[in-house]
Amino acid sequence: MSEHKTTKNHLISQLFWQTEIGADEAISTYPLVQDKMTALKQYMELLEKSVQPDLSLPKTSPSQVNVLEQTNSSGANISTVDSEISDSKKPGSLEALTTLNELKMALEKFDGCSLRNTASQLVFGDGNPNAKIMIIGEAPGKDEDKMGIPFVGQAGQLLDKMLKSIGLDRQQIYITNFIPWRPPGNRTPSPLEISQLRPFMLKHIQLKKPDIIVALGGVSAKALLETELGILKIRGLIYEKKFGSDKSIPILPTLHPAYLLRAPAQKKLAFYDLVMLKRAISKGLVTH
């Protein structure tokens, strides 16, 4: 096979991969040369000087999801998008569950998703079960499938560094994935698989009762917000959504660490999102 053909196939595979994770929008017409590295402290100071969105959480009706948009003033524009996640498909057996351990056992017995047949084991959650910051990723990878713990591979190590940059560690957050079994070859979960496991994630959120949800990557963000928009179009905002309860929960979509490993120039966007999380904590809207 020629070098040209190999390069072409590689570029095509990279394009498909970025589309699958939601990176479906070009930032610029031409490739950019990576800027020289800036010290993390300096970078965070620059972000703090940027326009700060209002993180106050207005009350909404049960059928609405609110978007807190950036503005040049001290206020925030609010727009309505999709309705809340419906629990009409939630298995009746989930209604009686009262603890995360009971939910884990219910998932271990669930045979309605074929992914469990190809995965080594269930990957449920990690971190502090009592934490009010809930991080929801996409699905386990090879390392996670082997160890049974979410985000322990290279992407997980980067996530730990990202959290550390704003003063957090795994004892202050709770982390899980929308899909608890590794898809074969780390492929993107199908719409059917997401639909099959949505009731369990809904119950997971209801049991956790987080102050805020950080949605890592396009699959998680799109599934939680029930939108077809790519992650680059919905990140940078804090959304409100109800998950079968009276209280709305803020959702902060951001880029997945696995994507950042392959597109390091985008780390600045993820750090901006983390600054928003830090501000929410400093304002007392999130406890940890």
Identify the bridge partners of residue 275 per DSSP, sorted by sequence position. none
Query: Crossing angle, helix 191-208 and helix 217-225, to 10 degrees?
Result: 70
CATH of 40-282, one of 3.40.50.720, 2.60.120.10, 3.10.450.50, 3.40.470.10: 3.40.470.10
Q: pTM value?
A: 0.73
**pLDDT value for 2:** 52
Query: Crossing angle, helix 191-208 and helix 100-109, to 10 degrees?
Result: 160
Per-residue pLDDT of the chain (288 residues; tens, 9 = 90+): 555 555 666 666 566 555 544 455 554 444 444 444 445 555 455 555 544 544 444 333 323 344 443 332 223 322 333 444 444 344 558 989 999 999 999 999 999 999 999 999 999 999 999 999 999 999 999 999 999 999 999 999 999 999 999 999 999 999 999 999 999 999 999 999 999 999 999 999 999 999 999 999 999 999 999 999 999 999 999 999 998 877 899 999 999 999 999 999 999 999 999 999 999 998 887 876
CA distance 70 to 54: 8
